[in-house]
């Protein structure tokens, strides 16, 4: 069965019918011992008291890698260089009533021993944490998200996540 051309929507109308989502970028930075840099959200922040990777929402017209680098600079004072290496994508259906969010996670590589973290007003703490130390922390997202991202960074793969859980654990058919 073919559709009559008269029933097609003009492109600008069709685009309005497509799903809308916010886009965010986070960066996994490691110290020479392989521990990941986590930041704690400070008082007055929506996730106050919880720990997560540096990152945030894209600015208008910004691409995910540029946003990731900008956010790391703003939140830590550190510079991430080199070519982007995507290590994960997470689809969250509804974040705080804003609707769907797609998170892009990038491998930021290893920061040297001499690197000094300068926190933004958004955060009140930072720590380099090993995967085996995550269980005792109040995290913004699931432990399994960080485990999957570390495994992807170390293994040269990309983790596909849904609600922070690896593809298979999220109940998504293959």
- 4, pLDDT greater than 70: no
- What is the value of pTM for the model shown? 0.87
CA dihedral over 161, 38, 105, 23, signed as positive or negative: positive
Mean pLDDT over 130-156 rounds to 95
pLDDT value for 173? 43
Instruction: Tell me how crowded residue 137 is: count the other CB atoms within 10 A of its CB.
Output: 16
- Return d(Cα 121, Cα 160) in angstroms, integer: 31
- 107, pLDDT greater than 70: yes
Average predicted confidence (pLDDT) for the chain: 90
pLDDT value for 167? 76
- 161, pLDDT greater than 80: yes
pLDDT value for 171? 47
Position with higher pLDDT, 38 vs 9:
38
Strand partners, 22: 101
pLDDT value for 84? 93
Mean pLDDT over 122-151 rounds to 96
Ordered by where they begin, the domains of the chain are: 21-166 (3.90.79.10)
Q: How confident is the model at residue 99 (pLDDT cuts 50, 70, 90)?
A: confident
- 7, pLDDT greater than 90: no
Q: How confident is the model at residue 8 (pLDDT cuts 50, 70, 90)?
A: confident
Mean pLDDT over 111-129 rounds to 94
């Amino acid at each position: 069965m073919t559709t009559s051309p008269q029933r097609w929507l003009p492109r600008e109308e069709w685009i309005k019918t497509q799903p809308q989502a916010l886009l965010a970028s986070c960066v996994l930075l490691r110290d020479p011992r392989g521990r990941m840099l986590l930041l704690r959200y400070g008082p007055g922040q929506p996730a106050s008291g919880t720990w997560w990777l540096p990152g945030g929402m894209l600015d208008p017209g910004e691409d995910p890698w540029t946003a990731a680098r900008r956010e790391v600079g703003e939140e830590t004072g550190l510079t991430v260089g080199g070519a982007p290496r995507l290590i994960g994508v997470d689809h969250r259906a509804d974040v705080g009533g804003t609707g769907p969010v797609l998170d892009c996670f990038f491998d930021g590589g290893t920061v040297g021993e001499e690197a000094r973290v300068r926190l933004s007003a958004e955060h009140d703490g930072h720590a380099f944490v090993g995967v085996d130390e995550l269980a005792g922390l109040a995290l913004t997202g699931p432990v399994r998200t960080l485990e999957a991202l570390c495994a992807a960074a170390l293994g040269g793969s990309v983790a596909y996540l849904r609600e922070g859980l690896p593809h298979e654990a999220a109940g998504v058919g293959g």
